[in-house]
Structure formats: structure tokens, C-alpha cells
Amino acid sequence: MASSAWLPVVVCALLMMQAVPAARAARAFFVFGDSLVDNGNNNYLVTTARADSWPYGIDTPDHRATGRFSNGKNVPDLISESLGSEPVLPYLSPELHGAKLLVGANFASAGIGILNDTGIQFANIIRISKQLTYFQQYQHRLAKLIGPDQAARVVAGSLTLITLGGNDFVNNYYLVPYSVRSREFSLPDYIKYILSEYKQVLRHIHGLGARRILVTGVGPIGCVPAELALHSLDGRCDPELQRASEAYNPQLEAMLAELNAEVGNGAGGNGPVYVGVNTRRMHDDFIDDPHAYGFASATVACCGQGPYNGIGICTMASSLCADRDQYVFWDAFHPTERANKLIAQQYVSGTTDYISPMNLSTIIKLDRHLHD
């Protein structure tokens, strides 16, 4: 008697348990930055910074180039997977309309930096201020679709990733000896300058409604095959570029702490808005001991030409490795899908040495109630 009286309650509870995950709105994901996170915006632009032809994308299911600077997935794709979402479309993609807007948007554009003069050699790219303008435009489109209140909720409950800064060294300050910026600034002053500009960009993204923002540092830019080809006879990383990223990263962390103190709590009134991602540390692990991670090489690019396969761009005429999983670097600057998977794993469950003040799995747990 007692047990049958309970039965409808149990059935109800079971039905609800099934209904909740199905009804849970996936978390929107927004991406800003450069080629490390571009999902194909540059395909729609007249620029030389592009990855839309073979062998880029060689390890995707249909082996087609998408504009990602990888043999397969890049870090944003892997973060989407950890959110349980489909990959985010490039903002310029004609497929980004209707319900697809709820998944988020990727505004990144290969070649850009914090500064407007970074990447000028690539001509027509989407500089960071333009990416923010597109984010506003996106929100107007979303509001038309689901109404302004609901649109604001989607943005407030979203996750944002921004990867910027490497090009301000590689494709600006150190692009040529005696570059304009290196004559204008000492390295310490240049770092202060770009971080003061970056701080405004990061404030602006918060101002546009984002409440969880992953901000990556600068990786081991002196160790990429392109720099080894130019500066290294023995495979050792370029000390000057390494020094730049070593000086920049701790100051970025300090700036994020200042911003967190300034803007208060993040999504749902809990936890930080800005989360620092130590990509330098993530990448250093493979460079210091590639074999420990199953890589045969952390110095030679899979696709390219010349020393370390680090000269020029990856094209169908390049020398191409057979087993991409054995290489840390896909081309002269960008990691392989397998390296990206290991990097993304640290985003998800790394200690505070890799991502701080908290990792993505902690953020997802913290924000679960926002997506019910």
C-alpha cells in the first residue's frame, strides 16, 4: 500500500530526471583571438593568413580544410566537446543563423594581435576591436531570435575564450630586426603597453555581458619551428622570444587578478570572471619531454619545408609527416590535434599551475544551475 502510493512520485521523479538533461539549454560559447582559435573566419576574407586548403584538416572526418590551423580539431573544438556542445561556427559563416546562434560564435581571425598594427602584413583581418563590434552585432541578432531578456541570459551564462598576444611579439615586435615597435619600446615597456591595451579589451568583453572569460597567456613562442628555423642551429628555443613570454605571462596573471577585483563575481554571482590559462606551461611539458607524452618530435613541424619544417607555410607542396600524432607541431606555428587534446585536457582538469583560479570542470560544476 505504502509502496504503491509512492509509485507515481517515483515515476514522476524519473520522468523529470530524463526531462531535465534534454531541456537543459547548452551553454553558449564565444571565442575571440588569433589563428590558435580561428575556426574559419579568414576563409571569408582576402588575406594570406588562411588554412583553407589541403593538407590542413587532413585528419577531420571528411579530410577537408576548414580554416582551422590544425590537422584536425583546435582548442575551441575540444572545449565545445567538454561543454557537450557542437563546434561553434565562425561568425562570418553563412550557416550561422537561427538556432545555431544559441551555440555561440567564433570571432577569431588568424594574424591579429592586441595592437592594431600587429599582422598588418596579412592585410584584411578582423582586428580585436572589430571582433567586439561583431559580438555586439551577434547579440542584436540573438535578441531578434529569442527576445532581449533571454539573449542577455544566454550571454551571461556563456563561456568565453580569448587567445591573443603571441602575434604582438612574433608578428610585430620581433618580426624584423629593428622593428618600429622595438625601436619605440624596450621589451619591458612594450609588455606594459600591450597589457594596458589588453586590459581595456578584456573590460570591454565583460561590459558586453560575458561573465566567464578564459584568457590564455603566450606560449613558448621561441620554440615554434618557425623560430627554430630562423634562430636555432641545435634545436634550442630562441632565448629572446622565450624571455618575452616569460616576462609577459606573470604580468598578465596579475592584470587578471586586478580585473577580477574590479568587476566582482562572475556568472550567477559566483567565482571569478577572468580565468588565466597558462598555455606556456601546458606546452612546455611536451617541449621538455616529448617522449613522456608519446611525441617523437617537439621541434620539427609535421607540414612545412626547410630546417625543422619551419620555413614558409604548409601547402600541398610541403613535406608532410606520415603520423601526425607523433608531432607536437602541425605547421611552423600551430599544434597538432593531438597536442591540442592534451592542452584542452589541462583546461578541463588541470591544477592551478595550468589554469587559475579554477579549471573548466570546476566552472562547469559551479554554473550548472544556470543551464537547467
Ligand X SMILES: *[C@@H]1O[C@H](CO)[C@@H](O)[C@H](O)[C@H]1NC(C)=O
Catalytic residues: 35, 331, 334
* Residue of the chain from 48, 121, 124, 129 that contacts ligand X (CB under 6 A): 129
CB 126 → ligand X: shortest distance, Å?
A: 11
Site string for ligand X, 109-128 (x = CB under 6 A): ------xx------------
Applying the rule CB under 6 A, the residues between 190 and 229 that interact with ligand X are: 197
Applying the rule CB under 6 A, the residues between 7 and 66 that interact with ligand X are: none
Site string for ligand X, 297-336 (x = CB under 6 A): ----------------------------------------
The number of residues that bind ligand X (CB under 6 A) is: 10
CB 278 → ligand X: shortest distance, Å?
A: 12
CB 124 → ligand X: shortest distance, Å?
A: 14
CB 251 → ligand X: shortest distance, Å?
A: 18
CA torsion through residues 42, 126, 227, 283, sign? negative
Site string for ligand X, 143-162 (x = CB under 6 A): --------------------
Nearer to ligand X, 319 or 361 (CB): 361
Site string for ligand X, 339-368 (x = CB under 6 A): ----------x-xx------x-xx------
Nearer to ligand X, 186 or 351 (CB): 351
Nearer to ligand X, 137 or 352 (CB): 352
Assign 3-class secondary structure to the chain. Answer: CHHHHHHHHHHHHHHHHHHHHHHCCCCCEEEEECCCCCCCHHHHCCCCCCCCCCCCCCCCCCCCCCCCCCCCCCHHHHHHHHHCCCCCCECCCCCCCHHHHHHEEECCCCCCCCCCCCCHHHCCCCCHHHHHHHHHHHHHHHHHHHCHHHHHHHHHCCEEEEECCHHHHHHHHCCCCCCHHHHHCCHHHHHHHHHHHHHHHHHHHHHCCCCCEEEECCCCHHHCHHHHHHHCCCCCCCHHHHHHHHHHHHHHHHHHHHHHHHHCCCHHHCCCCEEEECHHHHHHHHHHCHHHHCCCECCCCCEEECHHHCECCCCCCCEECCCHHHECECCCCCECHHHHHHHHHHHHHCCCCCEECCCHHHHHHHCHHHHC
Closest CA to 66 of 39, 87, 35, 27: 39
CB 219 → ligand X: shortest distance, Å?
A: 21
Nearer to ligand X, 282 or 332 (CB): 282
Nearer to ligand X, 18 or 129 (CB): 129
CB 310 → ligand X: shortest distance, Å?
A: 30
Q: Is residue 133 within the footprint of ligand X (CB under 6 A)?
A: no
Nearer to ligand X, 60 or 362 (CB): 362
Contact set with ligand X (CB under 6 A): 115-116, 129, 197, 349, 351-352, 359, 361-362
